[in-house]
């Protein structure tokens, strides 16, 4: 098992170096390493390693969101508030609706099953977006109008909408009724609840760290543990079915509160988390690669799937543009926001196979296995196409479209 980890990390580092040397985002090299070594290609990874990576991805996401939160201050948040809220739901809903309709027409999926496809595809990937926005922030790009921070805040909420609406369609597919009134009310309440819980945890940590001396390394460990417990609690069916709490937003809020109330500590923790991210990044993107099964894609599926994805991405870009109406951003900055909202990876890797699994378990008897495989294949295709497209687009156009300070 340890040998498998060593091989995977070494391959990911080599992929990162090779892609960076070619002028491409290094994360794509890490994903490529996971694809090559994973079950879809050479199948060199032990099952226990794959299971660990699946669990560890949550920790990696939490680490990068903590880093994001530790870099957002109150003044910045006040400036981006309205557009960030709209970026959190409007692009997701527009893309999900577009993919649902085109999936229904082109793949002849029943509308409920097409809705499951639509809102698996509609989730943007914080794993790809957040690290790149932090890199731009550290380079001083987009600082004048806080463009990277705007995207960070929106991306942390986007997934809540996508996963919750997917759950409603999945419930309908299983023959249950979907409470749309509860969905409309529950989503905003869940976002507020996530932010409120995050603020409360942040205030507690500030008090605790002021009264009890710990080494910064131990503070980081405690911070991660509390964040993981918070996230896992919100994922419990008994909690999520009642109120879909925006845990990712809440985790960012913890860092925001620490920065506001204890800036010296926030800066020290940010340096520690930057070091933790070095390993977390490798394992996260390698995991995404191991989840890809390129053999699930056939020639006809690729062509039709690309049409569905293209229509969905156009709708998402339209949603981004509408979200930014009335904001301070200029045309170039709005174009950049649309580019940065393209990548799919985390949710699609985690949930692409869920409909097929439900079919095989007999939970959706009216859904054919073929339709489940279609949804999985489009989820895989969305990662293969949009993760490189978005990552390269941000790396290439970020410095060109955003002003630097």
DSSP string, 192-253: HHHHHHHHHHHHHHHHHHHHS---HHHHHHHHHHHHHHHHHHHHSHHHHTT----HHHHHHH
**pLDDT above 80: residue 318:** yes
Q: What per-residue confidence (pLDDT) applies to 1?
A: 82
| Poorest-pLDDT segment among 184-193, 213-222, 318-327 | 184-193
Scan for tokens 């988390």, then name that residue: 273
According to CATH, the topology of domain 51-405 is Na+/H+ antiporter like fold (1.20.1530)
**pLDDT above 70: residue 100:** yes
Residue pair 379/125 in contact (Cβ under 8 Å)? The answer is: no
**pLDDT above 90: residue 124:** yes
Q: The tokens of 190 are what?
A: 């869940």
Model pLDDT for residues 134-189, shown as the tens digit of each residue: 999 989 999 888 999 999 989 888 988 899 899 889 988 987 766 667 777 888 89
**137: nearest Cα among 398, 339, 326:** 398
Q: What per-residue confidence (pLDDT) applies to 299?
A: 72
Q: The tokens of 373 are what?
A: 């495989």
pLDDT class of 265 with cuts at 50, 70, 90? very high
High-pLDDT (> 90) share of the chain, %: 74
**pLDDT above 80: residue 20:** yes
Q: What per-residue confidence (pLDDT) applies to 40?
A: 86
Q: The tokens of 266 are what?
A: 């926030």
Q: What per-residue confidence (pLDDT) applies to 178?
A: 63
**pLDDT above 80: residue 86:** yes
**10 Å Cβ neighbour count for 185?**
12
Q: The tokens of 213 are what?
A: 């001396």
**pLDDT above 80: residue 298:** no
Q: What is the mean pLDDT of the chain?
A: 92
**156: nearest Cα among 187, 127, 184, 185:** 127
> Measured over all CA atoms, what is the biggest interatomic distance in the chain, rounded to whole angstroms?
63
The predicted model gives 279-283 an average pLDDT of 94
Q: What per-residue confidence (pLDDT) applies to 94?
A: 97
**288: nearest Cα among 67, 131, 98:** 131
**pLDDT above 70: residue 372:** yes
Q: Report the distance separating Cα 59 and Cα 49, nearest Å.
A: 15
Give the pTM. Answer: 0.90
Q: What per-residue confidence (pLDDT) applies to 78?
A: 82
Residue pair 308/287 in contact (Cβ under 8 Å)? The answer is: no
Q: What per-residue confidence (pLDDT) applies to 160?
A: 86
**pLDDT above 90: residue 340:** yes
């Amino acid at each position: 098992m340890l040998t498998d980890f060593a091989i995977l990390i070494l391959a990911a580092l080599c992929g990162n170096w090779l892609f960076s040397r070619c002028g491409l985002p290094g994360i794509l090299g890490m994903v490529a390493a996971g694809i090559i070594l994973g079950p879809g290609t050479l199948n060199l990874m032990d099952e226990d390693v794959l299971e660990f990576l699946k669990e560890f991805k949550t920790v990696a996401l939490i680490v990068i969101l903590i880093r994001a939160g530790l870099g957002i201050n109150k003044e910045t948040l006040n400036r981006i508030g309205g557009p960030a809220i709209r970026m959190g739901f409007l692009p997701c809903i527009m893309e999900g609706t577009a993919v649902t309709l085109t999936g229904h027409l082109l793949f002849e999926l029943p509308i409920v099953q097409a809705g499951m496809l639509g809102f698996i595809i509609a989730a943007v990937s914080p794993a790809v977006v957040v690290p790149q926005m932090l890199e731009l922030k550290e380079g001083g790009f987009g600082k004048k109008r806080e463009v990277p921070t705007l995207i960070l805040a929106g991306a942390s909420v986007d997934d809540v909408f996508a996963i919750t609406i997917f759950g409603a369609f999945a419930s309908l597919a299983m023959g249950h009724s979907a409470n749309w009134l509860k969905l409309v009310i529950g989503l905003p309440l869940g976002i507020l609840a996530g932010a409120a819980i995050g603020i409360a945890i942040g205030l507690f940590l500030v008090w605790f760290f002021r009264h009890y001396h710990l080494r910064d390394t131990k503070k980081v460990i405690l911070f991660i543990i509390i964040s993981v417990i918070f996230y896992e609690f919100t994922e419990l069916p008994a909690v999520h079915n009642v109120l879909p709490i925006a845990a990712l937003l809440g985790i960012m809020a913890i860092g925001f509160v620490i920065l506001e109330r204890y800036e010296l500590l926030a800066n020290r923790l940010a340096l520690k988390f930057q070091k933790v991210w070095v390993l977390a990044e490798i394992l996260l993107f390698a995991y995404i690669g191991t989840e890809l099964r390129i053999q699930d894609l056939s020639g006809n599926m690729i062509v039709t799937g690309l049409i569905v994805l293209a229509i969905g991405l156009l709708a998402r870009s339209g949603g981004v543009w509408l979200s930014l109406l009335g904001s301070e951003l200029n045309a170039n900055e709005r174009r950049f926001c649309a580019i940065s909202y393209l990548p799919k990876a985390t949710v699609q890797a985690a949930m692409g196979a869920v409909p097929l699994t439900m079919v095989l378990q007999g939970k959706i008897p009216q859904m054919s296995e073929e339709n489940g495989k279609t949804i999985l294949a489009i989820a895989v295709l969305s990662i293969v196409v949009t993760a490189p497209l978005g990552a390269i687009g941000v790396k290439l156009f970020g410095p060109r479209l955003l002003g630097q300070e």
